[in-house]
């Protein structure tokens, strides 16, 4: 059984479903680059700098719960300049964070 502190989730900004103000699904061209830059600038560790580079390039990033929580704080502190993208981004991040909580609850139920 994988320890909770070693568990990672796969994060990829290309999975964020963004609708424009008219409710039409859209792709924001510089979304990965902007969020990657934002995380890189505010990252408190080398590991998050590495993650920021992967985010910037639109690749999958494996994140621990602490890394994901830190990214959530960074992104929420300075919302992306396209307001309609902020809520879907935070929803996606919360969904990933919930995966850690679900695993923790399953582990507690097994004991």
Does the structure show a pLDDT above 90 at 90?
Answer: yes
Dist CA 22 CA 1 (whole Å): 46
| E strand or H helix that includes residue 61 | strand 61-63
> Under 8 Å CB-to-CB from 11, ≥6 apart: which residues?
51, 55, 60, 61, 62, 63, 68, 71, 96
The secondary structure of residue 101, as a DSSP letter, is H
- Is residue 81 very low, low, confident or very high in pLDDT (cuts 50, 70, 90)? low
pLDDT at 28: 83
Could you report the per-residue pLDDT of 30-61, keeping only the tens digit for each?
899 999 999 999 999 999 999 999 999 999 99
> Under 8 Å CB-to-CB from 5, ≥6 apart: which residues?
64, 65
Q: Minimum mean pLDDT among 26-30, 45-49, 64-68, 72-76: which range?
A: 26-30
CB atoms within 10 A of CB 82: 16
pTM of the prediction? 0.82
CB 37 within 8 A of CB 57: no
Q: Which of 88, 94, 102, 80 is nearest to 36 (CA)?
A: 80
CB atoms within 10 A of CB 102: 10
């Amino acid at each position: 059984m994988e320890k909770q502190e070693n568990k990672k989730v796969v994060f990829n900004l290309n999975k964020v479903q963004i609708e424009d103000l008219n409710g039409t699904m859209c792709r924001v061209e510089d979304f990965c680059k902007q969020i990657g830059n934002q995380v890189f600038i505010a990252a408190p560790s080398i590991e998050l700098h590495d993650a920021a580079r992967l985010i910037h390039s639109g690749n999958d990033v494996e994140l621990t719960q602490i890394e994901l929580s830190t990214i959530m704080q960074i992104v929420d502190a300075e919302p992306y300049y396209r307001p309609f993208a902020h809520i879907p981004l935070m929803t996606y991040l919360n969904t990933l964070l919930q995966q850690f909580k679900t695993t923790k609850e399953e582990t507690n139920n097994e004991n």
